[in-house]
Amino acid sequence: MKKLYGFALLVLLLAISSINIACSSCIGPAKVLPIEEIKTNETAFLVPLEGESKGGQQKFMSVDFLKTAKVATKRVTIPVTKRSLGRMWWSYEWLPTLRVVKVDRTPVTREWTSDETSGTTKKNEAITVESLDSIGFSIGINLTASVTEEDAATFLYYYAGKPLAEVVDQNVRGFVQSDLSGKFGQKAMEDCKKEKKAIFDELLVAVRGEFKNKGVTIDNLGYAEGLMYDNAKIQTAIDERIVAEMDVQTAKQRTLEQKETNERLESEATSKAKQATEFAKAAEAQKAKTTLDIELLKAEGMKIFAEQAKDIDWPDILPQGTNMMFGMDLPMAPAKK
């Protein structure tokens, strides 16, 4: 009897275990709400995945609708809805009813050049055009573009989630290629070189106007290289001509510098000669003044002596005409009778 009870208990336990295993597979998936994180350089939009009508879907695709769907928070919880997958109560799944669409506003910079060491990539990405006289050449481009917070909805509407980098590499580059081809193609090669800056100034205005309306801000655009000719001989000839012109300019500059040096030396010599002449004149004048002063002193001495000598009883032993002092000849007193 005990063996019978033990066998019955074993069967019961096995039955309970089988029921638990079967029931565990009859439970549907748990309801877990997805969470989306939004970075500081991103603008997010909460877009419904279920449209009520065709008209409602068209409204959903408008810029105004996207502006109202912009998310202000940096963490979004996505609501879900249950969707049946079969006849049993556990045959279902949870589907999100909304989708978060993000726009990365990080600026994108491009260097489309022919030099693999200076460009964004190692490929030759310079813009290739042709002048009116069928001379082919290329030119490098430097460009920076971004999406502002205010224009994020417009950007999403026109480019439907396409990254800004792709928009720049495809749409913006295509516009630049077309615009430059048209402008350079209307000018002779010499005019292309002379009017390059004016052409790029016009290009910048055109590119900004075209893409601002689609949510892309062109922060700057300019040429990154000189004109690179397809025919190497043309470039060589231009280089040789420039070198020759530089040699001529160098010779002219040296001649001008030598002329200025000669004029400076001549001016210095003239100034020194003038100073020497003025010094000589001053010395001569000083000498004449000194001589005059001496003569004046002698005259004054003679005057004083004459006034004092008229009362002197001169000795007879002095012969007439004897110099008395200072080498001056004074009249002698008459001889006594």
Together in a domain, 336 and 263: yes
Q: Contact at 8 Å (CB) between 99 and 49?
A: yes
pLDDT at 55: 46
pLDDT at 94: 87
Last residue of a domain, one of 184, 200, 230: 230
Together in a domain, 138 and 83: no
Q: What sign results for the dihedral spanned by CA atoms 115, 116, 117, 119?
A: positive
Together in a domain, 237 and 225: no
Please tell me whether residue 48 adopts helix, strand or coil conformation: strand
What's the pTM?
A: 0.58
pLDDT at 154: 94
Q: Report the alpha-carbon distance of residue 166 to residue 203 in Å, rounded.
A: 20
* Total number of domains in the chain: 3
Q: Report the alpha-carbon distance of residue 167 to residue 247 in Å, rounded.
A: 47
Together in a domain, 164 and 84: no
CA 269 to the chain's CA centroid? 50
* Domain extent at residue 157: 108-230
Together in a domain, 99 and 115: no
Last residue of a domain, one of 196, 230, 264: 230
Q: State pLDDT tens for residues 89-148.
A: 778 888 888 888 889 999 999 999 887 777 788 888 899 999 998 888 889 999 999 999
Together in a domain, 98 and 185: no
Together in a domain, 207 and 124: yes
Among residues 180, 145, 177, 141, which one has the least CA distance to residue 159? 145
Together in a domain, 135 and 242: no
Spans in the chain with pLDDT lower than 50: 19-23, 53-60, 326-328, 330, 336-337
Together in a domain, 212 and 237: no
pLDDT at 34: 84
pLDDT at 277: 83
The CATH number that applies at residue 136 is 3.30.479.30
Q: Has residue 63 been placed in a domain? A: yes
pLDDT at 326: 45
